Chains A and B, each alone.
Chain A
Amino acid sequence: MSRAIASLPAQGWVGKDARRRRVRRPARAAAVPLAFLLPVLVFAVLFFVYPLAKNVQVSLQDYNLSSLYTGAAPYVGLRNYTHLWHDPVFRTAVGNTIEFTLLSIFFQLTIGLGLAVFFVRNFPLNALLRSLLLVPWLLPLVVSGTVFRWMLDTNNGIVNRILLDLHLVGTPVPWLTGYHTAMAGVLICNIWIGIPFNMVILYGGLQTIPAELYEASALDGAGGLRQFWSITLPMLRPVLTVVSTLGLIYTLKVFDVIWVLTKGGPANATQNLTTYGYQLSFGGLSRFGAGAAVGNVLIVVSLVLSLIYLRSRRSEGEGR
C-alpha cells in the first residue's frame, strides 16, 4: 500500500494542460522544452518501456537458470501461459489474490470511513491525533510485517495471549502457520497498513460536503444515521470510487507483507500472484519465463482496472 498515493495526482489534470498548450511555435523554440523533457523520456524508455517489452519477450521463452549465463533461451510460444492455465498453484494464487484484495479493501474502506467521519468533527487535539494515525502507513512494509509476525506468533504472540486470557479461544490460534487461519493473519496486517490512507482521503472528501446540506436536513428532522445514508454516502461516492479503485490496483500486487509473514504458505494458503511470480523467478528455480508470464497476467488485470478507474474519473467529472 505504500505507493498508493502515487497515482492520486491523476485526477482532473489532463484538461488543464490541453487548454494551455494551444500556442503554435517555431521549431527552434520547441527544441528548448524538449531538452528539459529529455531526461525523463530517456528514463522512461530505459526503465519502463524496455523492461516491459523485455518481459513480454521472455514470457515467450523457456528462460531458466542456464539462460542467465549462456543467453540461450528457446522460444516456446505461449507455452508459459498454457502451463499457468493448468497449474493448480497458479489457480490457487488467483483465488487468493481475489480474496485478499476484496477483503482488504472492504475492511480498509469501512474502518477508514468510520475514522474519517469521527475526525471530521472539530475537537481538541484533532489535527495532532490525525497526523499520528498516519504512522502505520509511512513505515516500511517489512517493519510492519515483522511486528505483526511477532504479535501473531502462535506461542509467544500478544494476540493469542490476550485471546487466551479473555477465554475467547481455548487453544492458541496458528495465525500464520495454520492452513485455514493464515489468510486471516496476513489480512489483519494488510488492513492495518491501509486504514490511514483510506482515512485521509475520505476525510478530505467529507470536508468538501457543504455544511448547509446537513443543516437543511437537520431542520427537516433527519438524525445522524439518516444524514449519513442520505447525504454523506451519496456525496462521497466519487471519492469512494477513487479510493477503492486505487486500493484494488495496489492490493493486487502486495508482496512485502505476505512475503515477510508467510512467504505465501503454508501450502500456498496465502500465495498471491505477486509472491508466486517471485517464487518462479527468484525462488531458486530461476524460471524467469514463467515468472514473466505471471507478471504479465498481473499487468493486464491492473491495466484493465486502471482504465476503468480513469474512465470512472472522467465520467464523474462530466457529471458535475
Chain B
Amino acid sequence: MAARSARRSGPAGWTRTGIGVLILAVMLFPLYWMVNASFQTNAQIALPSPHWLPIGGTLSGYRDALREQGRHFVTSVVVALGTTVLALLIATPASYAISILRARGAQAVILFLLVAQLIPGIVMANALYRIFLPLHLLNSVGGLILADSTLAVPFAVLILRAFMVAIPRELIEAARIDGAGSIRVLLSVVLPVSRNAVITSALFAFLFAWGDFLFASTLNLGATDSTPISVGLYSFIGAGTNTTSWNSVMATAVLASAPAAVLLVLAQRYIAAGVTRGAVKD
C-alpha cells in the first residue's frame, strides 16, 4: 500500500488537491447553504437573487432557535448521553463474555445482534408504542433512552467484541495468575486495553441517539417537554410550506448538527474506525 502511494504521488499532486477541494465544495455546499441562511435576515433570504455570503446578517435566527429549541437541545443531550451509558453498561460485559470468557451460545448472540440491526425502525416503534403505553414510558426521557439503545447496543457489542478478540491471551492469563477474578480482569486489563473500541462505540451510540427521529416522533409524540431537537426541528418546518422564518429553522439545524461536527473534529480516527472496521478486513 505504501509503495503504491509513493508511486502514485507526483508533480500533478496539487492539481488533484484542487479537484478534491472542488468535489468537497460541491458535496458540502448544502451545509454551507444552511450556515449561510442561518445568519441572514428573513428579508434577505426571501430576495429573488440569493445572498452567497451572510453579509449584513443577523443573529436573530440563533436567538429564536435558542429560545424555541433550547429545551429540546438539552433533552437531546440527556437522551444521547443516557443511551451511551446504558449501551456501554450492557455491551461491555457482553462482549467480554463473548470474546474473552468464551461464553456458551456466544455465536447465537452475535448472529442475533447482527439480524437485530436490520429490523426496520418503524417495526420497533410500532411495537414499543404499545409496550410502553401501559408502563407509562411513552413521552418520557427514560423510554426514549431505552428505545434508542436498541440502535446502539448491537453495534457496541459487535465493535467491542471485534477488538477484544484480538487481545493477547497472555495478558489475560498473566492477570489470572496474579489472582485477579473475572471482574478485576475486565476492569483493570481488558477495559484499559480496549479504550479505543470503547470510545468508538460510545461515539456511535451518542450519534445514533442524537440523530434519532423515528422513535422520538412516535414514542414521544404527545410530549413537548421530552422531545429531542430532531423533533423540535421537524415541528419547526412541519407546519407546512411556511418559509417565513427560514433563518431560525436553519439556525436550529446548525445547532442540531453541532455535536456531529464537533465529534468529527475531535474524534476523527475513531469515526473512521467505526465505519471501516470489519468491512474490508476479515
Interface residues, chain A, with chain B CB atoms under 8 Å away: 2-3, 5-14, 16-18, 20-21, 23, 30, 32-37, 39-41, 43-44, 47-48, 50-52, 54-55, 58, 63, 68, 115, 118-119, 121-126, 129, 131-136, 138-144, 146-151, 153, 156, 158, 161, 177, 192, 195-197, 200-201, 204-205, 207-208, 211, 214-215, 239, 242, 249, 252-253, 255-256, 259-260, 274, 277-278, 281-282, 288, 291-292, 294-296, 298-299, 302-303, 306, 310, 317
Contacts and interface: CB of A to CB of B under 8 A. Distances in A.
B115 A303 contact: yes
A260 B253 CA distance: 13
Nearest to A260: B234
B278 A21 contact: no
Given A52-B127, A123-B17, A161-B50, A44 B116 contact: yes
Contacts of A14: 107, 110-111
Contacts of A259: 213, 234
B256 A211 contact: no
Most A CB contacts (10 A, CB to CB) among B5, B21, B218 go to: B5
A147 B207 CA distance: 19
A256 B12 CA distance: 42
A118 B15 CA distance: 12
Nearest to A257: B213
Ranked nearest first, the 4 interchain pairs of A and B with the lowest CB-CB distance are A12-B282, A33-B103, A51-B127, A211-B4
Contacts of A30: 103-104
A106 B52 CA distance: 32
B183 to A, nearest CB: 9
A216 to B, nearest CB: 13
A115 B114 contact: no
Contacts of B4: 211, 214
A22 B246 CA distance: 62
A20 B102 contact: yes
Contacts of A58: 126-127, 130
Nearest to B232: A142
A8 B256 contact: no
B112 A11 contact: no
B264 A39 contact: no
A43 B153 contact: yes
Contacts of A211: 1, 3-4, 7
A61 B272 CA distance: 45
Contact of B280 (A48, A121, A208): A208
A165 to B, nearest CB: 9
A303 B218 CA distance: 24
20 contacts: A30-B104, A35-B97, A44-B109, A51-B128, A54-B130, A63-B130, A68-B130, A122-B8, A123-B16, A124-B14, A134-B275, A136-B30, A138-B261, A146-B237, A147-B253, A208-B280, A208-B281, A274-B120, A298-B122, A310-B114
Interface stretch (B54-62, B63-71, B144-152, B170-178): B144-152
Contacts of A131: 264, 268, 271-272
B90 interface: yes
Nearest to A42: B90
Nearest to B210: A140
B257 A140 contact: yes
A166 B161 CA distance: 54
A20 B102 CA distance: 8
Contacts of B239: none
A146 B23 contact: no
A115 B26 CA distance: 12
B73 interface: no
A224 to B, nearest CB: 12
Contact of A207 (B1, B218, B277): B1
A253 B121 CA distance: 7
Contacts of A253: 120-122
A118 B23 contact: yes
B260 interface: yes
A133 B49 CA distance: 28
Most B CB contacts (10 A, CB to CB) among A18, A124, A215 go to: A124
B133 interface: yes
Given A6-B155, A140-B213, A140-B230, A40 B34 contact: no
Given A17-B107, A134-B264, A136-B27, A122 B120 contact: no
